Amino acid sequence: MADGPAGAEALIEKLGVGIDAELLERALTHRSYAYEHGGIPHNERLEFLGDSVLGIAVTVMLFTTLPDLDEGELAKRRASVVSTVALAEVARGIGLGDHVRLGRGEEQTGGRDKDSILADTMEAVFGATYLSAGPDAAEALVLRLTEPLLKDPERYGAAMDPKTSLQELAARLGRTPPSYSVVSSGPDHNRLFTATVTVGDLSRTGEGTSKKTAEMAAALTAWRALNDGDDARHD
């Protein structure tokens, strides 16, 4: 988290809602930081709450604005909006990674841009908003931040099915088809997968708790780069 009140104020300004300072700090505290500082409270309980806030807000919005869609299509759209890769994209849009409090290990391994950490922190912020400002304010925040995904059909489709979207975009641009490699680390009960996707000279990575989610995260990151015209290699 950025030092001093200015950092918190900058984030609150982007969020556009008042959040209790102590709750916001907790929402931004990853467990790795908490463990290194004497076991102080971290954001996982707020993440649990925020997950429900996110789910109900998106569900009600889809149900009320898309009356012609059946249950299966509604569920598919909701899943794409609340997915780790989509939430990480939302978090990057407000620079949330700059404010997360991380332990040394996570800091050194690029934790500020890990999809899982960004998505979990975003949910914790939703939970903190619910407790600070109430359900209406929390729901409004969720919908405002996720709206770009729903308004941009291509970006929405990429969040829903990143691997297919990347393959189609690469073909349209005349690039070589995406190729993936995956490595894993950590103990069996807490395995972390890191996928790297390469499309011509473009290389991007993503992480997840399974090979599939890691590849999806990498694919969405690569899709964003190609779609935005960023062809620089990223290690």
Binding-site residues for Mg(2+), please? 47, 120, 123
CA dist 34 and 101 (Å) reads 9
Residues forming the annotated binding site? 47, 120, 123
**Given the residues 25, 51, 106, 215, the one annotated as active site:** 51
Write the DSSP symbol of residue 29.
B
- Longest Cα–Cα distance of the chain, Å, equals 53
Is 71 in the active site? no
**Per annotation, catalytic residue among 115, 123, 207, 215:** 123
Q: 3-state class of 75 per DSSP?
A: helix
- Identify whether 51 is a catalytic site residue: yes
Give the N- to C-terminal CA distance of the chain in Å, as an integer: 24
143: number of Cβ within 10 Å: 15
Q: Kindly give, in sequence order, each residue whose CB lies less than 8 Å from that of residue 42, ignoring residues fewer than 6 positions away.
A: 26, 29, 30, 31, 33, 34
Lookup result for tokens 């997840």: 208
Specify whether the CB–CB gap between 136 and 34 falls below 8 A.
no
Residues taking part in catalysis: 51, 123
